Structure 1
Amino acid sequence: MAKATGASPKQNELYYGDNLDVLRRKIASESVDLCYIDPPFNSKRNYFQIYNNQGGEDRAQAQAFVDTWEWGDEANDGIAWITDIAQLQSGRLTEQTVELLRGLEKVLKRGSLLAYLIHMTLRIVEIRRVLKPTGTFYLHCDPTASHYLKLILDAVFCGQGGDFRNEIIWSYESGGRAKSDFARKHDVIFRYSKSKDFVFNAAAVSSPRGETRHNHMKKHIDEDGRAFRSIKSNGKIYKYYDDEGVIPADVWPISHLQQKDPERLGYPTQKPEIILERIIKASSNEGDVVLDAYCGCGTTVAVAQRLGRRWIGIDITYQSISLILKRLQDKYPAEWPAIEAGILLDGVPRDIASAVALANRKDDKTRKEFEKWSVLTYSNNQARINEKKGADAGIDGTAFFLIDASTNGKAIFQVKSGGATRNTLATLNSDRQREKAEFGFLISMDAPTKAMRDEIVAAGKYKHPLLHREDDRLQVITVAEILRGDRLNLPMARLDAVRSAKAETGSDRQDSLL
């Protein structure tokens, strides 16, 4: 059941799960002041992300997600829900929305693009519901599907008293050069208000006009001593005061994050914080609630935290959840204990039953989530998740440690949700030897049997040359041990697998976008 209407969260909230389910069951109607989303664009690209180059050839083995859509059960269920007369009768959908999707089905047929648009429609409907009457919605997309998305936004928002406010163009100069087309160098950000009464803090995002603007006009001084320039148009006199701010236009020339930018975490769709800063300052006030239903690497969350807003983040992959928590810890090392204590972390396994439920997810989007959660949690987010297909498919993650100042050691992980045997460990040991890894870790739902313990003994021990420390080359970790707090303890473990966010300083927290 969702919270009561208007029940804004009293703390920050980070949800691990499908955003549609979270929006429907856990976010109250009219409880959110501002929502920004940067959803997948249906661009059919594979993304590789967040890891530093520790192991040379392992640089690109971690796959964050695959931005590809296809028609399947989710799309079938979605179109059935949208066209069910009960949704129309209950007021959950507008007639415009239903008829639009019916028309798009006839035009586009049941394929990848329609599946994507159904996915987005279901979530846009819920986002509008959770917005306060004064709330604002920003949807970040690219020209791949922006024209279709605007039709959906118009149907959902304008059909229920809302307004289209802006089509913002984020223009940038980066990437390759086109040879047979005009170079594609922009994204689109749609801005919609839920009603005619909405928050827009012009002063918070305005820049000083300065004496150089409108300098083709004659300068005057009014009775209060303020400098202004004026122009007469259509019988009216317009005054432009030099000390007034100028609201940004709807074209934002802001550079992509560059390779060496200290803000860059390597996440494939990471956006510059300056974009979110402008959006959050313009359309919310301190203490307001900001929602990002596709929070990815947590840029919205990080900026909302810095600007004194409460925030709600949702993501379907545990890599994103772990990255967001690490990002906040890196940015606010001194305040982190208090920040962490103020976060409601929902959907992350807390007991065996919830771990089993995660392991039993069968859909393609979440089939690896149990492996990701167990490896990342046990390794304190210092292992790399491996989704590479092929001969090494049995390896679910890799971590590194230092043998000496210039030599890495390697540990590989395999996760089994049940049915692990001595043969499982024997295979893991073969994989370890093939990968030239010093350690092999098996994460299992079940405790090791005597036969498995014998296999561990047979594999021998690794003695670190500098620490004079010996550890079993094969080890079994149970989910129960992870849940009680046991964590990876490699000799001279490397703690730089994931890129770190720059810590905030006093100067960083000042207004950086005028």
Structure 2
Amino acid sequence: MAASSNRPANHLYYGDNLDVLRREIADGSVDLVYLDPPFNSNANYNILFKSPTGAAADAQVEVFGDTWKWTDASEIAFDEVRYSGNLRAFELLRAMRTFLGDNDMMAYLSMMAIRMIEIHRKLKETGSVFLHCDPTASHYLKLLLDAVFGARRYRNEIIWCYTGPGSPGMRQFMRKHDVIFWFNKGDSWTFNGDAVRVAHSPKTRENYKPGLTGSGFVGADHVIHERGKIPEDYWTYAIAPRGREYLGYPTQKPVALLERIIAASSNEGDVVLDPFCGCGTAVHAAQKLGRQWIGIDVTHLAISLIEKRMQAAFPGVAFTVEGTPKDLESAMDLARRDKYQFQWWAVSMVDAMPYGGRKKGADGGVDGIIYFKPDGKRTERAIVSVKGGDNVGVGMIRDLHSAMEREKAPAGIFLCKATPTGAMEKEAAAVGRFAAAATGKTYPRLQIITLAELFRGKTPDLPLVDPTAAFRRAAREDTARQASLF
């Protein structure tokens, strides 16, 4: 990955990670890969957005699903492994298909296999990969890693443990752990043991002296190091659902978990890649520890959340955002490919919170919400409707007005590709204006903004907009000092 001298070292990519890896990331350029891909859990995941208006919750957006089906895409992934040049990986995948059949698990494994082959290609010879998964597929994924990296490149199976309330009627033990496999690519690898040591217990310090075992033999497994021990392969980091760190993302991992991985297996200035970056915990930890980073995600909502997270935690941080629309043509290409991704991108352009999800009719005609304070104190809502098609008409303006009345919203924003008709503009003007005591001005209640105007910098005309109101704001990191990790 060649970067010019004036181009930031850190990058967020919107898009399919397989495409981005092949197109944007140079072979042998990455020091550490951490990936936390969707699991094969048959679950759908929603982002929960807080409501600054006092309601319990203003929105749940279904951002992704861990549901896999054998489709043409699965067959393509299987064939790509066949022609990848990695015979061991293909022979294993073919044996798995014979055993499993063309089912959900096989679709998941085919998707993962071709991506692991590509990740192996991007790693430096001294690089490592940490694959985060759950017990439903970990045994299959370990075999895939053996095939791609070689069984002798296996370093650790790390168990991340967490707790939960469980259920009184359970008929088995609670499943409360994830699996993290660590493989290295070449004959040597980075391991900074001193960066992750933990203090010995008082009892251990009482029984053993530094550098000696109880029997006096130096070099045994339990030699006491004066700075503490290398941690075991089971970790118990937690993230509180209502804690300061939690941002509302359903599969968010603790920063401390990623700090330990990155501190141990990379050096300052190294390149850390997360091809399934979700809400950005890995890139957050990488930035905190002075590494360069690359994040990839296939949902625009995740990219938007990471942008806000990094800017809040590291004011002034420099990074590029690539793959998102930069002009009208690319915006319409996104609309044709995925209307929900297009809607999430469009509402982010006006600092709105996304609303609704992929379930038809779930949004009630509302695609986003902007929070603002017309009197400087009380938070009100402007609801956003997005239309990416060529055919717009006055009926759409009436529908938005009806939604404003239903939601008791003083303002509405109609975002569209097509140029509005005179009848649409007249209907919007008839909705009237509202006064804002905080500014002493009046504002149109229903505003029409075209995508072309958005690219020219036009924004909704609203008083005291709070673009972070609906998002849990990441705490600012103290980068002036290297905090103690553990």
Scaled by the length of structure 1, the TM-score of the pair is 0.86
What is the rounded CA distance, in whole Å, between the counterparts of 1:125 and 1:233 in structure 2?
A: 47
1:231–1:238 CA contact under 8 A, matched in 2: no
What is the rounded CA distance, in whole Å, between the counterparts of 2:56 and 2:98 in structure 1?
A: 48
- Pair 1:489–1:259, CA change in 2 (3 A): farther
**Given the alignment, which residue of 397, 411, 423 partners 2:382?**
411
2:36–2:133 CA contact under 8 A, matched in 1: yes
Q: What is the CA distance between 1:454 and its match in structure 2?
A: 1.4
Q: What is the CA distance between 1:468 and its match in structure 2?
A: 4.2
Instruction: Give the 3-state SS of the residue equivalent to 1:294 in structure 2.
Output: coil
2:59–2:355 CA contact under 8 A, matched in 1: no
What is the rounded CA distance, in whole Å, between the counterparts of 1:393 and 1:107 in structure 2?
A: 45
1:402 aligns with 2:385: no
What is the rounded CA distance, in whole Å, between the counterparts of 1:99 and 1:129 in structure 2?
A: 19
Tell which deviates more after alignment, 25-34 or 108-117.
108-117
Indicate the residue corresponding to 2:33 in structure 1.
35
1:383 aligns with 2:353: yes
1:261 aligns with 2:233: no
- Pair 1:493–1:69, CA change in 2 (3 A): same
Q: What is the CA distance between 1:236 and its match in structure 2?
A: 8.4
1:473 aligns with 2:445: yes
1:142 aligns with 2:134: yes
CA deviations 1:486-506 (Å, max 9, x no partner) are: 233422434411010111236
| Aligned AA (2:366) | I
**Given the alignment, which residue of 129, 133, 148 partners 1:156?**
148
| Aligned AA (1:117) | L
What is the rounded CA distance, in whole Å, between the counterparts of 1:146 and 1:303 in structure 2?
A: 25
**Given the alignment, which residue of 75, 86, 94 partners 1:102?**
94
What is the rounded CA distance, in whole Å, between the counterparts of 2:254 and 2:396 in structure 1?
A: 45
Instruction: Give the 3-state SS of the residue equivalent to 1:212 in structure 2.
Output: helix
| Aligned AA (2:478) | T
| Aligned AA (2:354) | R
**Given the alignment, which residue of 106, 112, 124 partners 2:116?**
124
**Given the alignment, which residue of 32, 45, 48 partners 2:46?**
48
1:66 aligns with 2:65: yes
- Pair 1:512–1:487, CA change in 2 (3 A): farther
Q: What is the CA distance between 1:177 and its match in structure 2?
A: 4.2
What is the rounded CA distance, in whole Å, between the counterparts of 1:373 and 1:201 in structure 2?
A: 40
Q: What is the CA distance between 1:233 and its match in structure 2?
A: 9.7
Indicate the residue corresponding to 1:272 in structure 2.
254
What is the rounded CA distance, in whole Å, between the counterparts of 1:292 and 1:145 in structure 2?
A: 20
1:210–1:242 CA contact under 8 A, matched in 2: no
Tell which deviates more after alignment, 141-150 or 49-58.
49-58
Q: What is the CA distance between 1:474 and its match in structure 2?
A: 1.7
Q: What is the CA distance between 1:119 and its match in structure 2?
A: 1.1
Q: What is the CA distance between 1:211 and its match in structure 2?
A: 5.9
Structure 2 residue runs without a partner (length 5+): none
1:283 aligns with 2:276: no
CA deviations 1:263-319 (Å, max 9, x no partner) are: 111111111111111100111000000000011111111111111100000011111
| Aligned AA (1:186) | H
**Given the alignment, which residue of 309, 321, 324 partners 2:306?**
324
What is the rounded CA distance, in whole Å, between the counterparts of 1:244 and 1:439 in structure 2?
A: 60
**Given the alignment, which residue of 312, 320, 325 partners 1:349?**
325
1:400–1:493 CA contact under 8 A, matched in 2: yes
1:34–1:283 CA contact under 8 A, matched in 2: yes
Q: What is the CA distance between 1:407 and its match in structure 2?
A: 5.0
Seq. identity, %: 44
What is the rounded CA distance, in whole Å, between the counterparts of 2:464 and 2:225 in structure 1?
A: 60
Indicate the residue corresponding to 1:203 in structure 2.
194
What is the rounded CA distance, in whole Å, between the counterparts of 1:237 and 1:52 in structure 2?
A: 53
Indicate the residue corresponding to 2:185 in structure 1.
194
1:52–1:59 CA contact under 8 A, matched in 2: yes
2:364–2:403 CA contact under 8 A, matched in 1: no
What is the rounded CA distance, in whole Å, between the counterparts of 1:243 and 1:308 in structure 2?
A: 26
1:315 aligns with 2:310: no
Instruction: Give the 3-state SS of the residue equivalent to 2:150 in structure 1.
Output: helix
- Pair 1:443–1:147, CA change in 2 (3 A): same
Tell which deviates more after alignment, 206-215 or 232-241.
232-241
Scaled by the length of structure 2, the TM-score of the pair is 0.91
- Pair 1:359–1:158, CA change in 2 (3 A): same
Tell which deviates more after alignment, 424-433 or 227-236.
227-236
Structure 1 residue runs without a partner (length 5+): 220-226
CA deviations 1:209-254 (Å, max 9, x no partner) are: 476316445x5xxxxxxx5432459998778345153111111122
2:49–2:60 CA contact under 8 A, matched in 1: no
What is the rounded CA distance, in whole Å, between the counterparts of 1:405 and 1:488 in structure 2?
A: 17
Q: What is the CA distance between 1:510 and its match in structure 2?
A: 2.6
Tell which deviates more after alignment, 48-57 or 323-332.
48-57
| Aligned AA (1:385) | Y
